[in-house]
């Protein structure tokens, strides 16, 4: 009797979880160029460099959106091509291009955690500017909250920037198609509430970029090189351009 009763509970449980799994699977993006909209953001799986891997895969999903506060996650394993980035799963803000000189603040908050084995990756903003409102993206500004497992940015070190209670190493380089400025935090920052505008101001004050450049894209995500069973969970993220 007891056994039969238990079995029916187990059967009911299995039926329930079997019904729930397909829903989760549908919300997950695993295709190279899959995207989804979530409030003021577009979330990308963006496996642009997967061709340099000998094996691997990556899937991204939105967990929740509440106003402009987003929770999302991306799971991946990548092997081979150790010096090549495989992807940039990210959340991009939808906003109209605006001249840097007209921006008063770019407040953000980001809380994240990474799990997995032998991870080489960054957790970073990718910000783009251009000379005209509608031309191709020209200058890439990255703000790295973490350089994990020896991941490093493009270019040479050209000094440090102290801001928001942290020290950021600034690297300047070119990847063949555009100039890249990368601010790399000297420690891993897993939870932060700050502003992105001072990073642009530092580049303007240093004579690297012009304040007449248009801000075109604000993206936040991770660039994996190598690792297995890796999962980046962004429990809370928001940004706005004012
Ligand atoms: C830039 O172009 C877009 C699209 O045409 C337009 O909506 C926006 O208002 C323009 N922004 C500026 C600052 O000119
Ligand atoms: C380098 O170039 C490509 C364009 O081919 C660009 O999309 C990419 O994000 C660049 N930057 C880095 C840091 O790899």
- Is the model's pLDDT at 182 over the cut of 50? yes
CB 47 within 8 A of CB 88: no
Under DSSP, the state recorded for 90 is: E
Residue 140 among the catalytic residues: yes
Residue 223 among the catalytic residues: yes
Residue 126 Cα: closest atom of ligand 2: 9
Q: pLDDT tens for residues 46-80?
A: 999 999 999 999 999 999 999 999 999 999 999 99
Q: Is the pTM of this model over 0.85?
A: yes
Q: pLDDT tens for residues 13-57?
A: 444 444 333 334 447 999 999 999 999 999 999 999 999 999 999
List the residue whose alpha carbon is closest to atom 4 of ligand 2.
Answer: 177
34 token code pair: 């899959």
SS3 for 80?
coil
Neighbours of 109 (CB within 10 A): 13
97 CA to centre of ligand 1 in angstroms: 6
Q: Which ligand is nearest to the CA of 94?
A: 1
Residues with a CB atom less than 6 Å from ligand 1: 96-98, 133-134
For the chain, the distance separating the N- and C-terminal CA atoms, rounded to the nearest angstrom, is 67
Under DSSP, the state recorded for 31 is: S
pLDDT bracket for residue 135 (50, 70, 90):
confident
- Cα(90)–Cα(64) distance, integer angstroms: 15
- Cα(138)–Cα(64) distance, integer angstroms: 32
Q: Which ligand is nearest to the CA of 174?
A: 2
Selected catalytic residue, list 92, 138, 140, 187 = 140
- Is the model's pLDDT at 201 over the cut of 90? yes
List the residue whose alpha carbon is closest to atom 12 of ligand 2.
Answer: 175
CB 224 within 8 A of CB 121: yes
User: All domains of the chain, ordered by start, with CATH?
Assistant: 26-239 (2.60.120.180)
pLDDT bracket for residue 99 (50, 70, 90):
very high
């Amino acid at each position: 009797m007891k056994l039969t009763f238990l079995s029916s509970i187990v059967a009911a449980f299995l039926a329930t979880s079997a019904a729930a799994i397909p829903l989760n699977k549908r919300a997950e993006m695993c295709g190279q160029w899959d995207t989804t909209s979530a409030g003021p953001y577009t979330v990308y799986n963006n496996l642009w460099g997967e061709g340099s891997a000998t094996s691997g895969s990556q899937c991204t999903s939105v967990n929740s959106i509440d106003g402009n506060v987003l929770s999302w996650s991306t799971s991946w394993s990548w092997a081979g091509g150790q010096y090549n980035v495989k992807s940039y799963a990210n959340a991009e803000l939808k906003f109209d291009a605006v001249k840097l000189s007209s921006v008063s603040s770019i407040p953000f908050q980001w809380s994240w955690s990474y799990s997995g084995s032998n991870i080489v990756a960054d957790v970073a903003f990718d910000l783009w500017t251009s000379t005209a409102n509608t031309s191709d993206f020209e200058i890439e500004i990255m703000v790295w909250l973490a350089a994990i497992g020896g991941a490093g940015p493009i270019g040479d070190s050209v000094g440090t920037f102290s801001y928001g209670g942290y020290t950021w190493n600034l690297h300047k380089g070119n990847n063949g198609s555009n100039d890249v400025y990368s601010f790399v935090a000297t420690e891993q920052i897993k939870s932060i509430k700050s502003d992105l505008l001072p990073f642009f101001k530092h580049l303007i004050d240093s004579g690297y970029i012009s304040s007449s450049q248009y801000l075109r894209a604000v993206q936040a995500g991770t660039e994996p090189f190598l690792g297995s069973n890796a999962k980046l969970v962004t429990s809370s993220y928001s940004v706005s351009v004012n």
